[in-house]
């Protein structure tokens, strides 16, 4: 079920309505869901990852920069552990420990080199079966390993990655 603003298609209910003030059934058989500011990802029980909403920086991972007003296929036949959405980026963690990233990298929030401004398709950043979970902030990301180690990257303009100084790395 979805409700709220649909200006960018982030509810996945089509272009006809820019908002829904009541919950509307979008789909069934959902395993996991993540919502960014204006985009969403849902992982289905049939092992399909779907995305909808704002995609101007490739945050849906569908290979273009076009907004999607209904769910579209991002990845299929993949066992996903968890997903997370930031402002203009997304992280996807598989059961095998594969960490895929997509979307804006202007602040380093997807962990790519500075010269790469965005990834419009899921990019395999790393494989580490010891990753317990992932989390996106607005313009930063975190990886928590099973042993308690925490890795952070992205914008630190307000100290959100804990380096004690304002940097964007």
Residues above pLDDT 70, as percent of the chain: 96
Judged on CB neighbours under 10 Å (0-12, 13-18, 19+), 14 is exposed
Dist CA 153 CA 169 (whole Å) = 6
Cβ of 128: how many Cβ atoms within 10 Å? Answer: 15
Tens digit of each residue's pLDDT (9 = 90 or more) over 138-169: 999 999 999 999 999 998 887 777 776 655 54
Biggest CA-to-CA distance, the chain: 48
pLDDT score for 161:
74
Tens digit of each residue's pLDDT (9 = 90 or more) over 68-114: 999 999 999 999 999 999 999 999 999 999 999 999 999 999 999 99
Dist CA 37 CA 47 (whole Å) = 24
Q: Which structure tokens are listed for 54?
A: 């704002």
Nearest to 8 by CA among 85, 81, 77, 84: 85
pLDDT band at 137 (very low <50, low <70, confident <90, very high): very high
Nearest to 130 by CA among 118, 108, 148: 148
pLDDT score for 30:
96
Cβ of 154: how many Cβ atoms within 10 Å? Answer: 26
What's the gap between Cα 28 and its chain centre?
20
Dist CA 23 CA 42 (whole Å) = 17
Dist CA 72 CA 41 (whole Å) = 10
Terminal Cα-to-Cα distance of the chain (whole angstroms): 37
pLDDT score for 168:
52
pLDDT score for 70:
96
pLDDT score for 166:
53
pLDDT above 70 (res 13): yes
Tens digit of each residue's pLDDT (9 = 90 or more) over 19-53: 888 899 999 999 999 999 999 999 999 999 999 99
What's the gap between Cα 12 and its chain centre?
15
């Amino acid at each position: 079920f979805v409700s709220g603003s649909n200006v960018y298609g982030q509810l996945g209910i089509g272009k006809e309505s820019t908002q829904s003030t009541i919950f509307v059934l979008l789909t069934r058989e959902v395993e996991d869901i993540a919502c960014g500011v204006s985009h969403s990802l849902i992982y289905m029980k049939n092992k399909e990852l779907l995305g909808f909403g704002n995609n101007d920086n490739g945050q849906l991972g569908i290979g273009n920069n076009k907004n999607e007003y209904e769910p579209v296929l991002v990845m299929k036949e993949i066992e996903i552990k968890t997903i997370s959405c930031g402002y203009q980026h997304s992280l996807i963690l598989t059961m095998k420990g594969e960490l895929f990233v997509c979307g804006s990298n202007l602040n380093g929030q997807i962990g790519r080199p500075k010269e790469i401004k965005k990834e419009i398709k899921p990019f395999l950043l790393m494989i580490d079966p010891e990753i317990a979970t992932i989390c996106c902030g607005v313009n930063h990301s975190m990886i928590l390993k099973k042993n308690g180690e925490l890795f952070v990257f992205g914008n630190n303009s307000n100290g959100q990655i804990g380096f004690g100084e304002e940097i964007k790395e």
